[in-house]
């Protein structure tokens, strides 16, 4: 899911929108700032969480 150019839409058709870079860029920014994150399946879809810790 966080790999560059990975698209959740099964046809992989660029005409349906997106380049597949969004979550990859988010992951890179979060890791550069040492933030924890989590991706988990739910009954309604997928939940993406970012943990902001104050040190």
27: buried, middle or exposed (CB in 10 Å: 19+, 13-18, 0-12)?
middle
pLDDT at residue number 39: 87
The percent of residues above 70 in pLDDT, for the chain, comes to: 60
Q: For residue 8, what pLDDT is reported?
A: 60
Q: Who has greater pLDDT, 15 or 50?
A: 50
Quote the CA–CA distance of 32 and 20 in Å, as a whole number. 20
pLDDT reported for residue 13: 58
């Amino acid at each position: 899911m966080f790999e560059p150019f990975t698209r959740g839409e099964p046809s992989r058709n660029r005409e349906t929108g997106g380049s597949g870079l969004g979550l990859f860029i988010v992951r890179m920014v979060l890791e550069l700032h040492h933030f924890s994150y989590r991706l988990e399946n739910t009954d309604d879809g997928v939940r993406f969480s970012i943990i902001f810790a104050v040190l």
